[in-house]
Amino acid sequence: MRKHDHFIKIAIFILLCLIPLILNAKSDNAIELFKEGNEKYKKGEYSNAVKFYEMILSKKIKNGYLYFNLGNAYFKDNRLGKAILNFERARIYLPSDSDVKFNLKFANSRKIDRISNPENNPFTIAILFFYNLFSVNTLFLFTYLLFLILIASLIVKWFYRKISWQMINQKVFNYAGIAFLFLLFMLVIKVNQIKSTKNAIIISSQIKVKSGPSTDYTDIFTLHEGSKVRIRKENDTWVLITLPNGFSGWVQKDLLEKI
């Protein structure tokens, strides 16, 4: 697994925790828990590191570096399904992070199941590349900055009447407006995708996929931990899943976890 810059990522984690710390008094020890988890990880106490990271998640604090470290701890603790699950979650928050990409790819290479994904055309690949380039936080920041530029542009339009200023200002307003609407559109899509995620990871070492939502139905194929599936339907105890190759079946809900 690829190592990451310990101090930089602790610093970023602390910054990302500032808002939850202010809004929620229960989160006041999240930074200490994160540091303690890192210390346990360095000592090779991976199961204990997992406990500290999971304690942070129980406080409703979520960010990419936490999921990344948790994925590393699960991987070292030989829990491949949980490792891949948390690397996938880290990728949502840190889509451009090279460490996250490398570790997810490495963990996926350790899976038993080899399920091929359908090939995309070049146009779709280009769209997906841009879509996955920025996290929700980054998109929000850029969208907010463009909004401020638009406000500033309107102020200039109202108070500065020189023709030269107005011509430059109009171009700035037009370009910023187009970029703002595009990024806002991307932000809305990303937020909705996270809220309505239908992808999940198998976390049990081996499961039998059934032809119906009961143990009485026939076994149709087997899956192993780490396999990524899409949830199509669910009830209290069973979910209908689909694989990238089109295979479908029912599995018990507690054998997988949503990304």
pLDDT digits over 9-68, tens only?
A: 555 565 555 545 444 555 558 889 999 999 999 999 999 999 999 999 998 888 899 999
Band of pLDDT at residue 157, cut at 50, 70 and 90:
confident
pTM value > 0.75: no
- Name the CATH superfamily for 199-258: SH3 Domains (2.30.30.40)
Structure confidence at residue 191 (pLDDT): 82
Q: What is the pLDDT of residues 107-132, one digit of tens each?
A: 999 999 988 766 666 776 676 677 77
Topology at the third CATH level for domain 6-108:
1.25.40
Q: What is the pLDDT of residue 3?
A: 52
Give exposure, 119-130, as e/b (b: 16+ Cβ within 10 Å). eeeeeeeeeeee
Name the maximum alpha-carbon separation found in the chain.
80
Domain boundaries, the chain: 6-108, 122-195, 199-258
Instruction: Name the residue with tokens 């346990």.
Output: 40
H-state helical runs in the chain: 6-23, 30-42, 46-57, 64-76, 80-93, 98-108, 122-131, 136-159, 163-195
Per-residue pLDDT tens digits for 127-152 = 667 777 787 878 899 999 999 999 99
For residue 254, pLDDT beyond 90: yes
Which contacts of 193-197 are long-range, i.e. CB under 8 A and separated by 24 or more positions?
Answer: 194/92, 194/136, 197/258, 197/259
